[in-house]
Amino acid sequence: MAYSLVVFDWDGTLMDSTHHIVAAIQGACRDLDLPVPSASQASWVIGLSLEGALRHAVPDLPKSMMPRFLERYRVNYLLRDPELKLFEGVREMLEDLARRDVRLAVATGKSRVGLNRALAASGLGDAFHATRTADETFSKPHPAMLHEIMAELDVLPERVVMIGDTSHDLQMAANAAVHGVGVTYGAHTRKELEGCAPQAIVETVAELGAWLASRN
Protein backbone atom coordinates (compact mmCIF):
# COMPACT_ATOMS: atom_id res chain seq x y z
CA MET A 1 0.00 0.00 0.00
CA ALA A 2 1.39 3.39 -1.02
CA TYR A 3 0.29 6.16 1.34
CA SER A 4 -0.25 9.67 0.05
CA LEU A 5 -0.92 11.07 3.54
CA VAL A 6 0.82 10.24 6.80
CA VAL A 7 -0.82 11.64 9.94
CA PHE A 8 1.26 11.81 13.12
CA ASP A 9 0.36 12.14 16.73
CA TRP A 10 2.61 14.72 18.42
CA ASP A 11 3.44 13.93 22.07
CA GLY A 12 5.29 10.65 22.43
CA THR A 13 5.42 10.13 18.65
CA LEU A 14 7.31 13.11 17.23
CA MET A 15 8.15 14.97 20.45
CA ASP A 16 9.85 13.31 23.42
CA SER A 17 7.37 14.74 25.91
CA THR A 18 5.71 11.76 27.61
CA HIS A 19 7.69 12.07 30.85
CA HIS A 20 7.10 15.84 30.93
CA ILE A 21 3.32 15.40 30.65
CA VAL A 22 3.30 12.76 33.38
CA ALA A 23 5.40 14.99 35.64
CA ALA A 24 3.11 17.97 34.99
CA ILE A 25 -0.01 15.98 35.93
CA GLN A 26 1.66 14.65 39.07
CA GLY A 27 3.04 18.10 39.95
CA ALA A 28 -0.37 19.73 39.64
CA CYS A 29 -1.83 17.07 41.95
CA ARG A 30 0.84 17.79 44.55
CA ASP A 31 0.25 21.53 44.25
CA LEU A 32 -3.44 21.05 45.06
CA ASP A 33 -3.04 18.27 47.66
CA LEU A 34 -4.79 15.71 45.46
CA PRO A 35 -3.92 12.00 45.22
CA VAL A 36 -0.98 11.67 42.85
CA PRO A 37 -1.53 9.13 40.03
CA SER A 38 1.21 6.66 39.20
CA ALA A 39 3.32 7.20 36.11
CA SER A 40 1.43 4.42 34.32
CA GLN A 41 -1.95 5.96 35.21
CA ALA A 42 -0.87 9.40 34.04
CA SER A 43 0.78 8.17 30.84
CA TRP A 44 -2.27 6.13 29.79
CA VAL A 45 -4.29 9.32 29.21
CA ILE A 46 -1.71 10.99 26.95
CA GLY A 47 -3.27 11.73 23.58
CA LEU A 48 -6.69 12.55 24.99
CA SER A 49 -7.90 16.11 25.38
CA LEU A 50 -6.55 17.53 28.63
CA GLU A 51 -9.88 17.79 30.40
CA GLY A 52 -10.87 14.30 29.23
CA ALA A 53 -7.52 12.94 30.36
CA LEU A 54 -7.88 14.40 33.83
CA ARG A 55 -11.22 12.67 34.37
CA HIS A 56 -9.32 9.38 34.11
CA ALA A 57 -5.95 10.27 35.65
CA VAL A 58 -7.33 12.35 38.55
CA PRO A 59 -10.83 10.95 39.21
CA ASP A 60 -10.99 12.70 42.62
CA LEU A 61 -10.66 16.14 41.01
CA PRO A 62 -13.85 18.11 41.75
CA LYS A 63 -15.30 19.89 38.76
CA SER A 64 -15.03 23.18 40.62
CA MET A 65 -11.24 22.71 40.86
CA MET A 66 -10.74 22.01 37.16
CA PRO A 67 -9.69 25.59 36.25
CA ARG A 68 -7.12 25.67 39.07
CA PHE A 69 -5.82 22.25 38.11
CA LEU A 70 -5.44 23.22 34.47
CA GLU A 71 -3.54 26.33 35.55
CA ARG A 72 -1.16 24.30 37.75
CA TYR A 73 -0.74 21.69 35.00
CA ARG A 74 0.26 24.36 32.49
CA VAL A 75 2.68 25.95 34.97
CA ASN A 76 4.31 22.59 35.67
CA TYR A 77 4.45 21.76 31.96
CA LEU A 78 5.85 25.12 30.86
CA LEU A 79 8.61 24.87 33.47
CA ARG A 80 9.88 21.88 31.48
CA ASP A 81 9.12 23.34 28.06
CA PRO A 82 12.74 24.34 27.27
CA GLU A 83 13.81 20.72 27.78
CA LEU A 84 11.47 19.31 25.13
CA LYS A 85 13.05 17.93 21.98
CA LEU A 86 12.01 15.97 18.93
CA PHE A 87 12.93 12.32 19.01
CA GLU A 88 16.22 11.68 17.26
CA GLY A 89 15.67 11.15 13.54
CA VAL A 90 12.20 12.74 13.35
CA ARG A 91 13.28 15.76 11.31
CA GLU A 92 15.14 13.59 8.79
CA MET A 93 12.19 11.18 8.50
CA LEU A 94 9.78 14.03 7.74
CA GLU A 95 12.17 15.50 5.18
CA ASP A 96 12.49 12.11 3.48
CA LEU A 97 8.70 11.70 3.27
CA ALA A 98 8.37 15.21 1.84
CA ARG A 99 10.94 14.36 -0.86
CA ARG A 100 8.73 11.40 -1.77
CA ASP A 101 5.77 13.78 -2.24
CA VAL A 102 3.94 12.35 0.76
CA ARG A 103 1.68 14.85 2.48
CA LEU A 104 2.03 15.15 6.25
CA ALA A 105 -0.43 16.05 8.99
CA VAL A 106 -0.76 16.11 12.77
CA ALA A 107 -3.71 14.94 14.89
CA THR A 108 -3.05 15.63 18.56
CA GLY A 109 -4.64 15.84 21.97
CA LYS A 110 -2.82 19.16 22.49
CA SER A 111 -4.63 22.47 22.34
CA ARG A 112 -4.19 24.73 19.30
CA VAL A 113 -2.11 27.14 21.37
CA GLY A 114 0.06 24.27 22.63
CA LEU A 115 0.59 22.77 19.19
CA ASN A 116 1.40 26.11 17.60
CA ARG A 117 3.98 26.75 20.32
CA ALA A 118 5.50 23.29 19.80
CA LEU A 119 5.60 23.69 16.01
CA ALA A 120 7.33 27.06 16.33
CA ALA A 121 9.84 25.82 18.91
CA SER A 122 10.72 22.74 16.83
CA GLY A 123 10.91 24.62 13.54
CA LEU A 124 8.35 22.27 11.96
CA GLY A 125 5.65 24.86 11.34
CA ASP A 126 5.89 24.49 7.56
CA ALA A 127 6.28 20.70 7.52
CA PHE A 128 2.60 19.78 7.73
CA HIS A 129 -0.21 20.27 5.24
CA ALA A 130 -2.94 20.06 7.91
CA THR A 131 -3.24 19.87 11.69
CA ARG A 132 -6.05 19.21 14.15
CA THR A 133 -6.15 19.64 17.91
CA ALA A 134 -8.45 18.36 20.63
CA ASP A 135 -9.95 21.79 21.35
CA GLU A 136 -11.05 22.22 17.72
CA THR A 137 -13.01 19.00 17.29
CA PHE A 138 -13.79 15.70 19.02
CA SER A 139 -11.00 14.13 21.06
CA LYS A 140 -9.45 10.75 20.27
CA PRO A 141 -10.50 8.03 19.70
CA HIS A 142 -13.38 9.73 17.87
CA PRO A 143 -12.50 9.75 14.13
CA ALA A 144 -13.35 13.43 13.56
CA MET A 145 -9.75 14.66 13.44
CA LEU A 146 -8.88 12.22 10.68
CA HIS A 147 -12.14 12.76 8.82
CA GLU A 148 -11.56 16.51 8.81
CA ILE A 149 -7.94 16.20 7.68
CA MET A 150 -8.89 13.82 4.87
CA ALA A 151 -11.66 16.14 3.73
CA GLU A 152 -9.37 19.18 3.82
CA LEU A 153 -6.67 17.44 1.77
CA ASP A 154 -9.07 15.40 -0.40
CA VAL A 155 -7.46 12.04 0.39
CA LEU A 156 -9.27 8.69 0.49
CA PRO A 157 -9.01 6.59 3.68
CA GLU A 158 -7.19 3.75 1.92
CA ARG A 159 -4.29 6.12 1.15
CA VAL A 160 -3.88 7.27 4.77
CA VAL A 161 -1.89 5.93 7.71
CA MET A 162 -2.03 7.22 11.29
CA ILE A 163 1.14 6.98 13.40
CA GLY A 164 0.85 7.09 17.18
CA ASP A 165 2.22 5.89 20.51
CA THR A 166 -1.13 5.18 22.20
CA SER A 167 -4.12 2.94 21.78
CA HIS A 168 -6.19 6.15 21.48
CA ASP A 169 -4.35 6.98 18.24
CA LEU A 170 -4.77 3.50 16.81
CA GLN A 171 -8.41 3.24 17.81
CA MET A 172 -9.05 6.60 16.13
CA ALA A 173 -7.43 5.20 13.00
CA ALA A 174 -9.66 2.13 13.09
CA ASN A 175 -12.75 4.29 13.69
CA ALA A 176 -11.83 6.39 10.64
CA ALA A 177 -11.19 3.27 8.50
CA VAL A 178 -7.53 4.16 7.93
CA HIS A 179 -4.40 2.13 8.62
CA GLY A 180 -2.54 2.59 11.90
CA VAL A 181 1.06 2.09 13.00
CA GLY A 182 2.08 2.03 16.65
CA VAL A 183 5.38 3.16 18.12
CA THR A 184 6.60 1.66 21.39
CA TYR A 185 8.90 4.50 22.48
CA GLY A 186 6.02 6.68 23.77
CA ALA A 187 3.26 6.30 26.36
CA HIS A 188 1.56 2.92 25.84
CA THR A 189 2.94 -0.59 26.00
CA ARG A 190 3.33 -2.92 23.03
CA LYS A 191 0.52 -5.05 24.43
CA GLU A 192 -1.85 -2.07 24.51
CA LEU A 193 -0.90 -1.18 20.93
CA GLU A 194 -1.28 -4.78 19.74
CA GLY A 195 -4.86 -4.78 21.05
CA CYS A 196 -5.76 -2.33 18.26
CA ALA A 197 -4.46 -4.62 15.46
CA PRO A 198 -2.29 -2.00 13.70
CA GLN A 199 -0.53 -2.58 10.39
CA ALA A 200 2.79 -2.56 12.23
CA ILE A 201 4.42 -1.77 15.55
CA VAL A 202 7.91 -0.25 15.49
CA GLU A 203 10.40 0.41 18.26
CA THR A 204 12.40 3.39 16.94
CA VAL A 205 12.03 6.41 14.68
CA ALA A 206 14.57 4.84 12.33
CA GLU A 207 12.43 1.72 12.05
CA LEU A 208 9.33 3.84 11.47
CA GLY A 209 11.07 5.83 8.73
CA ALA A 210 12.21 2.65 7.00
CA TRP A 211 8.71 1.14 7.20
CA LEU A 212 7.15 4.24 5.67
CA ALA A 213 9.83 4.53 2.98
CA SER A 214 9.22 0.95 1.91
CA ARG A 215 5.60 1.88 1.16
CA ASN A 216 6.18 5.12 -0.74
**What pLDDT tens digit does each residue of the chain (216 aa) get?**
689 999 999 999 999 988 888 899 899 999 999 889 898 888 887 777 777 777 777 887 888 888 898 899 889 988 887 778 999 999 999 999 999 999 999 999 999 998 999 999 999 999 999 999 999 999 999 999 999 999 999 999 999 999 999 999 999 999 999 999 999 999 899 999 999 999 999 999 999 999 999 987
Residues in Cβ contact with 146 at an 8 Å cutoff, skipping those fewer than 6 apart:
7, 107, 160, 162, 172, 173, 176, 178
- The one catalytic residue among 9, 16, 165, 169: 9
Look up the pTM and report it: 0.89
Question: In sequence order, what are the residues at sequence separation of 6 or more whose Cβ sits closer than 8 angstroms to the Cβ of residue 149?
Answer: 5, 7, 105, 107, 130, 132, 155
CA distance 183 to 213: 16
Phi, psi for 136 (deg, rounded to 5): -105, -20
Q: Which of 11, 16, 165, 169 is catalytic?
A: 11
126 is catalytic: no
Q: Is 31 a catalytic residue?
A: no
